[in-house]
């Protein structure tokens, strides 16, 4: 075939051609810069391909999520043709340094007869494969088609590669913008505090979660050192050369309060891999720590109560055995007392708050329920006596008051008057100067021994008493004396 038939591809470009090509590239650059999405990017590139390479037919194909090269934009190609050649590519996604493939005559390409017939059937006799690459991988190709054999000039090859580079960069930029926007939305909507700093520890990003956690607004923290959030005691340890573990640590809020957090720190790298800062994700673990403390308290209380119940059960059996005439009588007495103990224990479990829990009980009735497991039979002296004023006990007061009385009775059964056969308890209720006083006096038991040691039971008594008012413990030679003082207004709450 003559050079005339193959076109004038080898001639030097005229000045007019150079001006036209520069105008095409300028328009492409401008449109790619202004493009709002991939559709506009593809349209700008296809216009430039057709204008610069003198063809009315072109296409852009990209690797999809399955690694298949698929059409994403085209000009003047039938659906049948696109379906027939979709997926065909001379390169793989991981290939580096892919070079353009210029097919001047499809009949001489060496491709399969089926593919040649498909291309000729579309009215295409020459075509070019131009690779599209991002900064780190092959993302696709663009194609340009001619209706007759075509000899590609070096100038056309360079133009095609220039357009391909601009298109590849535009695709990468748009993908990065989309990813950044998605990540920004995720960061901004996160409940966790997400903070970015530069290598000097200066805050560069501060999300809404950080605003909620620390109390500082974004404008207050951007450009300021993150050290502002580190408590002085931790700073002092760091300055002394001490290693401070930061996976769970403490930070300062704007109001000066400290907050426990779980912290994750990751490096931030630029496109070249150089570390330019750090990302910190902080999560408030106050609720988790409170729940953990509450769980530990409940476990210790359960352990304490279970041990006490065994002691009380043993005491009940021993006290009942001395008066029982037959095994059946003993079983009946123990069963009755354990049942009363269960009812008293149930009283201590009533919630102090909650949806309309109404409990009808009085001060005397509550004390009697707690002490019922320790009473003797009708022919024996009573183990306890309740005197003085009686008044209704509101539901909010039942749990702390029951806990106190239950602990008093437990200690009396273990060490005090209820541990002796002749021992008893005198409970006197009085009202003076707007205060209700419940005095618990033990008599007939072993002499009390004063101690400053505070076990879990003592801490439980102190905690329950703090909900009611005052608590005093005295060491009378005849037996221990305990007093609970409650503001009378609490009984009408």
Instruction: State the pLDDT at residue 4.
Output: 40
Instruction: State the pLDDT at residue 308.
Output: 67
In sequence order, the β-bridge partners of residue 261 are 249, 284
User: 89 near 98, Cβ under 8 Å?
Assistant: no
Place of tokens 């194909």: 61
163 torsion bin: left (phi>0), alpha (psi -120 to 50), beta (else): alpha
Tokens for 391, please give them. Answer: 């008044």
Q: Rg of the chain's alpha carbons, rounded to an integer?
A: 44
Tokens for 133, please give them. Answer: 């690459």
**Of the candidates 215, 226, 209, which has an alpha carbon nearest to the alpha carbon of residue 258?**
215
In sequence order, the β-bridge partners of residue 258 are 252
Whether the per-residue pLDDT at 6 is higher than 50: the answer is no
pLDDT tens per residue across span 142-157: 999 999 999 999 999 9
Q: Phi, psi (5° rounding) for residue 210?
A: -70, -35
Mean pLDDT check: name the lowest of 50-64, 166-180, 295-309, 477-491: 295-309
Whether the per-residue pLDDT at 490 is higher than 90: the answer is no
Place of tokens 């912290």: 263
Q: Phi, psi (5° rounding) for residue 16?
A: -65, -35
pLDDT tens per residue across span 14-67: 667 788 888 999 999 999 999 988 999 999 999 999 999 999 999 999 999 888
How far, in Å, CA of 291 to CA of 287, rounded? 6
How far, in Å, CA of 205 to CA of 210, rounded? 10
Over range 433-462, report the average pLDDT. 77
Could you tell me which residue, 172 or 330, shows the higher pLDDT? 172
How far, in Å, CA of 229 to CA of 198, rounded? 16
205 torsion bin: left (phi>0), alpha (psi -120 to 50), beta (else): beta
Mean pLDDT score of the chain, rounded to an integer? 81
**Of the candidates 205, 162, 203, which has an alpha carbon nearest to the alpha carbon of residue 183?**
205
**Of the candidates 123, 129, 125, which has an alpha carbon nearest to the alpha carbon of residue 150?**
125
Could you tell me which residue, 175 or 387, shows the higher pLDDT? 387
Would the CA dihedral through 64, 69, 75, 76 be positive or negative?
negative
Helix (H, G, I), strand (E, B) or coil at 118: helix
312's enclosing H/E stretch is helix 286-321
Residue 315 CA neighbour count, 13 Å, CB half: 25
- Write the DSSP string, 193-245: EEEEEETTSBEEEE-HHHHHHH---HHHHTTSBGGGGS-HHHHHHHHTT----
Helix (H, G, I), strand (E, B) or coil at 310: helix
Instruction: State the pLDDT at residue 41.
Output: 94
Instruction: State the pLDDT at residue 352.
Output: 47
Question: What is each CA distance from 382 to 259, 331, 478, 479, in whole angstroms?
Answer: 55, 20, 18, 17
In sequence order, the β-bridge partners of residue 265 are 280
In sequence order, the β-bridge partners of residue 102 are 128
pLDDT tens per residue across span 75-110: 999 999 999 999 999 998 888 889 999 999 999 999
pLDDT tens per residue across span 225-262: 888 887 777 667 656 666 555 667 888 888 888 888 88
Pair type for strands 384-388 and 424-432: parallel
pLDDT confidence tier of residue 223, bands split at 50, 70 and 90: very high
In sequence order, the β-bridge partners of residue 384 are 425
How far, in Å, CA of 388 to CA of 85, rounded? 101
């Amino acid at each position: 075939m003559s050079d005339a038939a193959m076109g004038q591809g080898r001639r030097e470009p005229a000045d007019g051609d150079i001006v036209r090509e520069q105008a095409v590239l300028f328009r492409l650059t401008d449109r790619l810069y202004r493009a709002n999405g991939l559709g506009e990017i593809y349209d700008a590139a296809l216009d430039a391909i057709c204008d610069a390479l003198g063809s009315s037919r072109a296409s852009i194909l990209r690797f999809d999520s399955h690694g298949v090269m698929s059409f994403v934009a085209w000009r003047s190609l039938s659906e049948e043709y696109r379906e027939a050649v979709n997926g065909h590519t001379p390169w793989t996604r991981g290939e580096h340094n892919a070079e353009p493939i210029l097919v001047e005559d499809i009949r001489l390409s060496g491709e399969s007869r089926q593919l040649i017939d498909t291309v000729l059937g579309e009215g295409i006799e020459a075509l070019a494969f131009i690779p599209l690459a991002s900064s780190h991988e092959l993302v696709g190709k663009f194609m340009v088609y001619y209706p007759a054999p075509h000899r590609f000039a070096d100038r056309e090859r360079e133009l095609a590669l220039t357009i391909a580079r601009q298109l590849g960069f535009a695709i990468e930029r748009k993908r990065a913008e989309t990813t950044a926007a998605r990540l920004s939305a995720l960061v901004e909507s996160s409940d966790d505090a997400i903070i970015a700093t530069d290598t000097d520890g200066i805050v560069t990003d501060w999300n809404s979660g950080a605003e909620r956690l620390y109390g500082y607004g974004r404008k207050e923290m951007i450009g300021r050192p993150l050290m502002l959030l580190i408590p002085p005691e931790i700073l002092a340890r760091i300055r002394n050369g001490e290693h401070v573990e930061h996976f769970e640590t403490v930070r300062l809020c704007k109001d000066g309060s400290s907050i426990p957090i779980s912290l994750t720190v990751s490096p931030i790298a630029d496109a070249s891999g150089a570390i330019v800062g750090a990302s910190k994700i902080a999560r408030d673990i106050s609720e988790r720590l409170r729940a953990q403390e509450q769980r530990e308290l409940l476990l210790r209380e359960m352990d304490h109560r279970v041990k006490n119940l065994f002691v009380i059960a043993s005491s009940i059996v021993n006290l009942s055995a001395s008066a029982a005439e037959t095994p059946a009588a003993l079983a009946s007495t123990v069963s009755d007392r354990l049942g009363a103990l269960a009812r008293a224990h149930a009283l201590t479990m009533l919630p102090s708050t909650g949806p309309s829990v109404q409990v009808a009980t009085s001060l005397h009735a509550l004390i009697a329920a707690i002490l019922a497991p320790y009473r003797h039979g009708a022919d024996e002296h009573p183990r306890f006596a309740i005197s003085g004023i009686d008044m209704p006990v509101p539901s909010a007061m039942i749990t702390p008051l029951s806990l106190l009385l239950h602990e008093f009775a437990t200690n009396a059964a273990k060490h005090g008057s209820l541990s002796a056969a002749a021992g008893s308890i005198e409970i006197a209720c009085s009202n003076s100067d707007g205060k209700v006083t419940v005095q618990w006096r033990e008599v007939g038991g072993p002499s009390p021994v004063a101690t400053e040691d505070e076990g879990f039971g003592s801490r439980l008594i102190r905690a329950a008493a703090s909900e009611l008012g005052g608590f005093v413990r005295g060491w009378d030679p005849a037996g221990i004396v305990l007093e609970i003082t409650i503001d009378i207004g609490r009984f009408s709450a």
